[in-house]
Chains A and B, each alone.
Chain A
């Protein structure tokens, strides 16, 4: 591999494609060639650089300079000024909205394990993943460790599932390992549907081999030879990159038959979903993989004994599996130096909404919410004040400014722990209306309720009716009590976590922002709610 003086990292993901990254890359390469810099400067197409909503983002390393909203003309200017003359183009540098903070520092404040390669290596070149230590863990595992050894490392690391409520991964794997049926599966849940969540997409787009290695390690540990990635049908680039990665890994013999020339075989396939939030629930996902409608199964039995086609199945989230290669390579003790004693490791978040630097970040478990909003997110826009934060998407918790010191790990969040998995952090300033936001959340659940069980089917319908009346000015004090009764019934009686989880946003919104709800009783006009009522008038007719 050629050693270059300077690397120009260009984030190529769905957002960047939208902003014309192909034209920027062409201009960049042409200008570098024109300036005779090809021997010194290497352009690297990589995954998201962690900056969202700012068009084409480019980083020049080792200078640590980030540029945003780059056009082909800007790219030529960067080559002429920065790369040729060593003068960073101040006009294009991040940040442009809040000059106080520096994104390079912000990115440096993270602890990157899962995202270590995202925005650094070219995800379409397996050699770059290998050069960064990739497939070392798998090679060592299949040649020098027994499956029990691998299982033991994962168990001792204390890794907990990143998809939902944080179930210990080692315990799940052990149950599959000890199941009597020899036909077993590893299923990766990449059906990312929680509003505001797209970390799994960026992991798949930015470092697909890390996921594949994690799946193969899971397969080796539990004795499975087939892995399936169930990914949202809308994630075209994720699907393409995962398929490319599988083909490359099989060609090199690190996946497929006789992995690293051992008796262990492991093949992986990608299966696109068809648009159903409920399929993120593991048993609905398994139904969908079997070609059926995504109706959750009654549990128990659990997938660890009766999963895909009734066989023992590991179902893990993308982020969970992407933690495994580093755990096996660097050891359980190393992993336990990160995070908290009961929640080791890191967590990936997407910080969005009214913050200066929306984007993808990874920090240790137990970080306070405040750090995500004010340090990594860059704080609110100048002159704005914080109203609240919706943590965890639609199935998440509305937190007030007084709760900013809440630590983000499964135990500190206690009954709100389910909100952690998705990693969605939506920051709202004073211009947002919590009643209106809860309305959006409830309409989402109504749309996505699968209709199988009555509490959820009828409950989401009734909740939308109540919040709509409230937003239209026809709410009463008892409307709020009715909503609480409904969600408590749903929590107790719904078949799956979808129906059970509606209680969290409703209860946290009402308890933390009760005054705002009551002000809607007295006041006849809330501009946000009025806009929603008007927009949906014809649709809800």
Chain B
């Protein structure tokens, strides 16, 4: 689907901006919003490009820098912290060979720390894209990453 076709599904009103940015980002390789995306979104909803950029740089789910094909977000908030988030972080670092905020050399995964994901009953928790993975153990982490490794 072209970017214009994506935009056409949204109202030409400022309130549609965030939802439209979500969709534009999803359509890109690299999980990012490009300058062209911001211009398109701004023009569609009728705000200055600076306003689109303003919103895109504020929310943690958007990025203006290229990221991996999959985003691994490990929760580091108090509940997961208590339940062993740092052990999970060690495991992720060694499996991915990437540190917090970095992308694997093959461009497949970006590792991020996140605030509470609201699934605290199975802490420690991470999300890979839209998939929640909880009660993290080294084995579960390996399996979850492997599920996203096709095409590596």
Seen from chain A, the residues whose Cβ lies within 8 Å of a Cβ on chain B are 14-15, 17-18, 52-53, 192-198, 201, 232-236, 271-277, 288-295, 350, 352-354, 358-359, 390, 393-394, 424, 426, 428, 432, 436-437, 440-441, 443-444, 447-448, 450, 531-532, 534-535, 538-539
Contact = CB atoms under 8 A, between A and B. Distances in A.
Given A194-B116, A195-B116, A291 B55 contact: yes
Ranked 6 nearest A-B pairs via Cβ: A52-B121, A291-B17, A274-B59, A293-B58, A195-B77, A275-B60
Could you tell me the dominant secondary structure of chain B's interface residues? mixed
Among B15, B54, B82, B114, residue most surrounded by chain A Cβ atoms (within 10 Å): B82
A460 to B, nearest CB: 13
A233 B130 CA distance: 10
B145 interface: no
Contacts, number: 155
Contact of A539 (B100, B114, B117): B100
Interface string B106-123: 000000011111111111
Most A CB within 10 A of own CB, among B57, B113, B133: B113
Given A195-B77, A195-B79, A276-B58, A539 B116 contact: no
Given A272-B22, A275-B60, A293-B59, A236 B77 contact: no
B115 A277 contact: yes
A426 B121 contact: no
Given A18-B134, A274-B61, A393-B78, A193 B115 contact: yes
B77 to A, nearest CB: 4
Contact of A394 (B15, B47, B78): B78
B60 A441 contact: no
Contacts of B57: 293
Contacts of A271: 15, 18-19
Among A234, A393, A394, A534, find the residue whose CB has the most chain B CB atoms closer than 10 A: A234
B97 interface: no
Interface centre among A291, A450, A538 (most CB of B within 10 A): A291
Contacts of B61: 233, 274-275
Given A15-B122, A444-B78, A447-B115, A291 B60 contact: no
A440 B77 contact: yes
Contact of B59 (A14, A290, A294): A294
Contacts of A290: 14-15
Contacts of B118: 192-193, 197-198, 201, 232, 234-235
B98 to A, nearest CB: 11
Nearest to B131: A18
Nearest to A532: B86
A15 B119 contact: yes
B101 interface: yes
B18 A274 contact: yes
A352 B119 contact: no
Contacts of A450: 58
Given A293-B58, A448-B115, A196 B18 contact: no
Given A18-B132, A538-B100, A53 B122 contact: yes
B81 interface: yes
B16 interface: yes
Contacts of B90: 535
A241 to B, nearest CB: 15
Contacts of B135: 53
